[in-house]
């Protein structure tokens, strides 16, 4: 079984080669130069450019890349599963569905499942990690797809950003809110609902925002003693480790995984973003 995912999963480059996962890259346009996310550009380069006032743009996985990979899967008569970034945040899922349908016209034997996870960043990344484990344990493509779909429905995303102007540039908050928020040091808490970014609350001060996120984690996740918490940061590992300690003190999770928010997601969230991922108590 081949596992495909896109670079919206915010997994490090080495993960894909070490775990035999096929990476489908979104693209990042920085200063007029287009890069394949993960392969051709380091997130730190994007964050440094943003700090200098550059506004990067992103685009979905190219149809040609989908076509090549899906045709290859069909020609080799292999089974595959594509675990995709939320369709409400990117056109990548829709393009994958369209190309798969096109490939089936020439290769009716194409054995490919495509899952719209409604997840983003390391929320998606944690699903990929689970899929790798299931494959390694010998689970079938159908069984893996069922488990990943169920897990995706229970994946929680809670995050806050350091600078509202990046979300304003992407239309996530109004420019006036971003300006006033910057003056008052207001930090929004956002989550993902049905695959969309939804503002939850506005808190004054970064530490207070994190404390409120931890309260929300407790309300939504219940007992964390057997849970892994994913923690992504926008090029601020020092603060991410501080947040880890704060969560450890209050919730005592089984384990943590810390990653950097990748270029294609970070281009919209900006430097200093802190995002937390976990499955809720119903999973």
Classify residue 135 as exposed, middle or buried by CB count within 10 Å of its CB (0-12, 13-18, 19+): buried
Question: pLDDT grade, residue 126 (50/70/90)?
Answer: very high
pTM for this structure?
0.94
Distance CA 117, CA 123 (A): 9
CA angle in degrees (0–180, nearest 5) for 191-195-198? 35
pLDDT in tens, 228-283: 999 999 999 999 999 999 999 999 999 999 999 999 999 999 999 999 999 996 65
Mean pLDDT for the stretch of residues 43-67: 96
- 178 band by pLDDT with thresholds 50, 70 and 90: very low
Distance CA 71, CA 83 (A): 17
Question: What was the pLDDT predicted at 99?
Answer: 98
For 14-40, how does the pLDDT look when each residue is reduced to its tens digit (9 = 90+)?
A: 999 999 999 999 999 999 999 999 999
Task: Please give the pLDDT value at position 181.
Answer: 44
Q: How far apart are CA 260 and CA 182, in angstroms?
A: 24
Token code pair at residue 196: 């969309």
Q: Which of 244, 250, 254 is nearest to 279 (CA)?
A: 254
In sequence order, the 6+-apart residues with CB closer than 8 A to the CB of 33 are none
CA 105 to chain centroid: 32
Q: Which of 10-24, 147-161, 187-201 has the lowest mean pLDDT?
A: 187-201
Domains of the chain: 2-25+62-153 (3.40.50.10440), 155-279 (3.30.1180.10)
């Amino acid at each position: 079984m081949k596992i495909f995912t896109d670079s919206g999963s915010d997994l490090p480059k080495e993960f894909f080669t070490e775990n035999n996962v096929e990476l489908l890259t979104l693209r990042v346009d920085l200063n007029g130069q287009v890069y394949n996310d993960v392969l051709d550009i380091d997130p730190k380069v994007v964050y440094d450019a943003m700090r200098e006032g550059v506004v990067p743009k992103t685009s979905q996985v190219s149809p040609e890349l989908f076509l090549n990979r899906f045709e290859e899967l069909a020609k080799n008569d292999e089974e595959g599963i594509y675990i995709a970034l939320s369709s409400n945040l990117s056109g990548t899922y829709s393009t994958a569905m369209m190309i798969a349908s096109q490939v089936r016209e020439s290769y009716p034997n194409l054995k490919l499942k495509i899952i719209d996870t409604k997840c983003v960043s390391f929320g998606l990344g944690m699903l990929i990690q689970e899929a790798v484990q299931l494959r390694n344990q010998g689970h079938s493509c159908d069984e893996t797809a069922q488990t990943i779909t169920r897990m995706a429905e229970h994946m929680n995303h809670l995050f806050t950003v350091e600078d509202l102007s990046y979300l304003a540039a992407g239309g996530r908050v109004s420019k006036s809110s971003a300006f006033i928020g910057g003056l008052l040091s207001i930090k929004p808490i956002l989550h993902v609902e049905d695959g969309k970014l939804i503002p939850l609350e506005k808190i004054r001060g970064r530490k207070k925002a994190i404390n409120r996120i931890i309260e929300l984690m407790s309300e939504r996740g219940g007992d964390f003693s057997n849970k892994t918490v994913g923690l992504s940061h926008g090029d601020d590992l020092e603060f991410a480790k501080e947040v880890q300690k704060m969560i450890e003190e209050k919730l005592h999770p089984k384990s943590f995984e810390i990653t950097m928010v990748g270029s294609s997601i970070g281009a919209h969230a900006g430097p200093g973003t802190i995002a937390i991922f976990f499955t809720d108590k119903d999973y």
